Structure 1
Amino acid sequence: MSGGLVTLGETMGLVAADGIGSLEFARGFAFGIGGAESNVAIGVARLGGSATWIGRVGRDATGDLIERRLRGEGVRATVIRDSSFTGLMVKHRRTAGLLHVDYHRAGSAGSRLVPADVPAAAVRSAGILHVTGITPALSGTARETVFHAVEAAHAAGVTVSVDVNYRSKLWSSYDAAPVLRDLVTRAQVVFAGPDEAELVLGPGGNPAERLAGLGPSEVVIKDGARGCTALIEGERHAVKALEVTVVDPVGAGDAFVAGYLADRLAGAGPAARLGTAIAAGAFAVTFPGDCEGLPTRPDLESLLSATDNVSR
């Protein structure tokens, strides 16, 4: 099925400690998968859209799990098996309000992505190519691959979506800023947090307007519990966040992006896209894990229509 989402990047195994406190005292762990791009692909698929993920994993049990999970979610997974290991992230809640994430991904299979890994036909037939600022931080070849895919999308007239998604544990702001700015200038749709916008642009001014000045026609500023603001085809929007009980904030931004892009692919207008994005992000934080809490359409309907906390 053509016209869906195509994305590429690294998906890792995710080890999450149970409870709250120092990792050395944790006695229970859950194991799953996580990665910004695959989270968005799963999120779009759960909302009824077509999604393709492209990436490398190791010839190991974690790589097997990633491939099975993606395909089980209805994502078209172009999985390249690599001789290196599948990356890993370890997550624990140091205090009730502080979530700590460590990465073990230097030299991983996912960091060895190369332009030849991206099928030209998949990009040409896409409705949206979605990339993030994470993948360019992984290696020189991964960065080259992201820009190669973006240029292929441009040549085919395919919309390019970029989530700035700056990760300070992967590269410095000094190294990241010019690359992320270059990526933003090549996109039609851009997502960023206020701090990420400042990283790309420097301080001052309205972040949505300033990012739009680099070329994108749709700029969405994700602002957590404050909701979001956007400048879409010259029209300003602001949507408040929904009040929910936060269990795990990781993955909320990816759920937000998936909600917006799923509705965009379905032909919904800007207000509907932003409403779905806000609801998807709110639903995701009520469940532990990177992708486990990504909602379906019925989930969103339940969230928006709930009057009590009992479903009968």
Structure 2
Amino acid sequence: MKHFPKIQSHKEIEVDGYWTGTGGNGLNVATYAHSLGVKVAFFSKVPLSIHSIITDTLIDVGLETSHLITEARSDAPQVILITNANGEYSVLVSDRNGLAFTPTEVSPHHLLPRAQYAHIDAFTLGALGTIGQIKAADKWVKTVQDSGALLSIDLSHALCDNQTQRASNLIGSAHVVFGNTYEATKITQTSDSVEAATALLRMGPSDVIVKDGERGLVCASEKSMAIVPAFDLPVADSIGAGDGVVAGTLFGLCRDLSLEDASRIGTAVAAMVCGGRGSQGASFDLQAVEQLLETGSTDRSSIS
């Protein structure tokens, strides 16, 4: 913090335990989709101090088609996530400039040919608001469009709070838009997730998925509007659940499923993710996800 808030006293909070792990929106989406059997290419900028950790994570899940740009000048950000008994969490994070692409680090060869979908996560879209990151994000978007892949984006609080016009332009250029209820209602100036999904659809994308927490998803397309309920399973924490929605839904769309059916896979993957500590704490595959979709329950013995 640059300035501590003025308070009359301090409060100590006792914790039951702690863990360390690896994560990040793009990393999560890539590894979850890979676990489902999708052919994935992952592109990221990684500070040197955690390069081996990220590499080991990718090796552990067997994701070999990765392209990492190493950042040697900036330290890795320190991220602390505090969860409660219900699995809800808050985030404390330090400077993330070392994770941001610059325009010179983005080139057309980065995108694999014949990709059906290309997903750009919320941070990469320009969450920091710096000129360099925004230019790099715009270059990523153009690279995807020139490749012929369908652009998928995930909104962020920072983008919707601080770059409303740019967020609107990005939404209009995307084929698939994901966002949580706060982001969706903020950018559309609506009062609930259903209204927000309808308003987002009018802004230009073909498919819209609003992540409405424990209530599930609101998905809207030119053909239909549906509410897809979340699975009622025990939650260790919800870190990475939104990325699970993205990975599962895009997996379903790659299989030419309807948006509603694809979104059901998204909710199932999110439920699996919530069974482990941290965004990489759950181990699952397509068989486990299909079992959950068919029966409403699954064997979670493989989840750590």
Deviation at 1:307, TM superposition (A): 6.2
Higher deviation after alignment, 117-126 or 155-164: 117-126
2:60 aligned residue:
72
1:191 aligns with 2:178: yes
**1:280-305 residue CA offsets vs partner (Å, 9 max, x unmatched):** 11221122111322631122134343
1:180 aligned residue:
167
2:127 aligned residue:
137
Deviation at 1:142, TM superposition (A): 2.1
Q: Which amino acid aligns with 1:179?
A: R
Deviation at 1:47, TM superposition (A): 0.4
1:248 aligns with 2:237: yes
CA distance in 2: counterparts of 1:243 and 1:217, whole angstroms: 29
Identity among equivalent pairs (%): 23
Show the 5 A alignment for 1:130-279: 130-135=119-124, 136-138=126-128, 139-166=130-157, 171=158, 174-204=161-191, 206-279=195-268
Partner of 2:200: helix, strand, or coil?
A: helix
1:100 aligned residue:
90
Residues 294 and 238 from structure 1, CA distance in 2 versus in 1: closer, same or farther, beyond 3 angstroms?
Answer: farther
1:116 aligned residue:
104
* Partner residue of 1:39 out of 28, 31, 42: 28
Deviation at 1:172, TM superposition (A): 7.9
Q: Which amino acid aligns with 2:106?
A: V
Residues 24 and 157 from structure 1, CA distance in 2 versus in 1: closer, same or farther, beyond 3 angstroms?
Answer: same
CA distance in 2: counterparts of 1:119 and 1:300, whole angstroms: 35
Q: Which amino acid aligns with 1:292?
A: G
TM-score w.r.t. structure 1 length? 0.81
**1:138-172 residue CA offsets vs partner (Å, 9 max, x unmatched):** 33322222211111221222100011132xxxx48
Partner of 2:275: helix, strand, or coil?
A: coil
CA distance in 1: counterparts of 2:127 and 2:156, whole angstroms: 11
CA distance in 1: counterparts of 2:298 and 2:70, whole angstroms: 47
Deviation at 1:182, TM superposition (A): 2.0
CA distance in 1: counterparts of 2:235 and 2:144, whole angstroms: 37
Q: Is the 8 A contact 1:49 1:266 kept in 2?
A: no
Q: Is the 8 A contact 1:239 1:274 kept in 2?
A: yes
Residues 119 and 172 from structure 1, CA distance in 2 versus in 1: closer, same or farther, beyond 3 angstroms?
Answer: closer
Q: CA RMSD in A?
A: 2.7
Residues 195 and 96 from structure 1, CA distance in 2 versus in 1: closer, same or farther, beyond 3 angstroms?
Answer: closer
1:283 aligns with 2:272: yes
2:80 aligned residue:
90
Q: Is the 8 A contact 1:46 1:297 kept in 2?
A: yes
Q: Which amino acid aligns with 2:75?
A: F
CA distance in 2: counterparts of 1:281 and 1:188, whole angstroms: 22
Residues 308 and 279 from structure 1, CA distance in 2 versus in 1: closer, same or farther, beyond 3 angstroms?
Answer: closer
Q: Which amino acid aligns with 2:179?
A: A
CA distance in 1: counterparts of 2:35 and 2:264, whole angstroms: 17
TM-score w.r.t. structure 2 length? 0.83
CA distance in 2: counterparts of 1:150 and 1:308, whole angstroms: 38
CA distance in 2: counterparts of 1:300 and 1:89, whole angstroms: 29
* Partner residue of 1:298 out of 262, 269, 287: 287
Residues 294 and 134 from structure 1, CA distance in 2 versus in 1: closer, same or farther, beyond 3 angstroms?
Answer: farther
CA distance in 1: counterparts of 2:166 and 2:123, whole angstroms: 11
CA distance in 1: counterparts of 2:300 and 2:80, whole angstroms: 33
Partner of 1:51: helix, strand, or coil?
A: coil
Partner of 1:29: helix, strand, or coil?
A: coil
Where do 5+ consecutive residues of structure 2 fail to align?
Answer: 1-10
Q: Is the 8 A contact 2:207 2:219 kept in 1?
A: yes
Residues 306 and 274 from structure 1, CA distance in 2 versus in 1: closer, same or farther, beyond 3 angstroms?
Answer: closer
CA distance in 1: counterparts of 2:12 and 2:247, whole angstroms: 31
Equivalences, count: 284
Residues 176 and 291 from structure 1, CA distance in 2 versus in 1: closer, same or farther, beyond 3 angstroms?
Answer: farther
